[in-house]
Amino acid sequence: MEGQLKIERREVLKEKPDFSRLGFGQYFTDHMLIIDYKEGKGWHDARIVPYAPITLDPAAMVFHYGQTVFEGLKAFKTTDNRVLLFRPEKNFARLNRSNDRLTIPQIDEEQVLEALKALISLEKDWIPTEPGTSLYIRPFIIATEPCLGVRASHEYKLMVILSPVGAYYAEGLEPVHINVESKYVRAVRGGTGAAKTAGNYASSIKAQVEAKESGYSQVLWLDGIEQRYIEEVGSMNVFFKIDGQVLTPELNGSILDGVTRDSIITLLKEWGIPVVERKLSIEELHEAYQNGTFEEAFGTGTAAVISPIGELNWLNHKMIINDGKIGELSQKLYDTITGIQTGKLADPFHWVVEVN
């Protein structure tokens, strides 16, 4: 990325929303980061500008062929007013892996992270401090060249927008009820499941709508080939505690390599709790349930951090997990990760990065 980061400040700042009723991704801060790409010129013209609508040709390739990737991470404010990011370098590394799958040019991870820090620093009054709240950070790249041929675009826009958010699930840390999806498929090996790209989410909405109609808040995806092996939930990886051991699907190329997932595996190892990444079938889970060894289940992701699963419905089998209450381990993981993220707990793994 050539050149200096330019900053154009908004003259009149927006009125801030009620920080006690934020919801998720509904309010946006005063400024945003934009970096342009053009073939032959590379990434250029990094700038922080007032948050405003963008203007695109109706033939911009993102509208037609979905060449786009995104990330999601968070900034937190500590009680002594320091601003912390949680493992941001992992998000930018993953953004580049997504870029590779979508044939979008690689970004300079360090330079974009520096530009992001400048943006956060400018917007630090937008970081809410209530428990469970944070400033959600959404970097994304879209193909902007106006052309209807199906091929990689020669022009892109990287943008970062910021949104103060409450807890992701309306119910808070209340255990969620999840339906095991037996009809729709999210991803298959050789596809884009391991990339954070729009199409994966577009294809998931219908399953989610149908799950909601049956009283479930999310779906648990099974693999695309045999529709037996557990993959992940909506925008979370998934963990199960069975007979004292923690199990999570291995990174098989069709699920996302979650930053929260990695953090949890690290913590569990540190704590001496056995954790295994492997193929895991829904039948195996159901057997454990029938044997009485299915102890806890939870989803993990940036938005919710930990989302305990109180009920899993697989065809006509209802599995009520831990009496529908949050498990001890789920709670401890939540407390530890959010404690580290907000600077309340020590950070032995050097996960947090301070914004000056």
Query: For helices 328-341 and 259-270, what crossing angle results, to 10°?
Result: 110
Cβ(252)–Cβ(189) below 8 Å? yes
User: One symbol per residue from 136 to 175: x for binding a second copy (CB under 8 A), - otherwise; what is it?
Assistant: x-x-x-x---xxxxxxx------x-x-x------------
> CA–CA separation, 29 vs 120, rounded Å?
10
Residue numbers 273-332 binding a second copy by CB under 8 A: none
Return the one option of a second copy, ligand PLP, none that residue 49 interacts with (CB less than 5 to 8 A, by type): none
* Window 58-77: contact mask with a second copy (x via CB under 8 A): xx--xxxxxxx-x-------
**Neighbouring-strand partners of residue 238:** 299
We find the least distance from the C-beta atom of residue 22 to a second copy, in angstroms, to be 12
**Of 116, 59, 68, nearest in space to 89 by CA:** 116
Token pair 């401090």: residue:
129
Tell whether residue 189 is a contact of a second copy (CB under 8 A): yes
Residue 47 binds: one of ligand PLP, a second copy, none (C-beta under 5 to 8 A by kind):
none
Cβ(119)–Cβ(32) below 8 Å: yes
- List residues bridging with 35 in a β-sheet: 158
Q: How far is the CB of 234 from a second copy (least distance, A)?
A: 6
Among ligand PLP, a second copy, none, the one that 345 touches (CB under a kind-dependent 5 to 8 A) is none
72 binds ligand PLP, rule: CB under 6 A: yes
Where is 288: in which H helix or E strand?
A: helix 282-291
Adjacent-strand bridge partners of 349? none
User: In this chain, which stretch among 117-125, 139-147, 239-247, 258-266 interacts with ligand PLP, using CB under 6 A?
Assistant: 258-266
Q: How far is the CB of 120 from a second copy (least distance, A)?
A: 17
Nearer Cβ to a second copy (26/293) = 26
Q: What sign does the CA torsion over 31, 34, 202, 222 have? A: negative
Q: Which residues bind ligand PLP (CB under 6 A)?
A: 72, 232, 235-237, 256, 258-261, 300-302
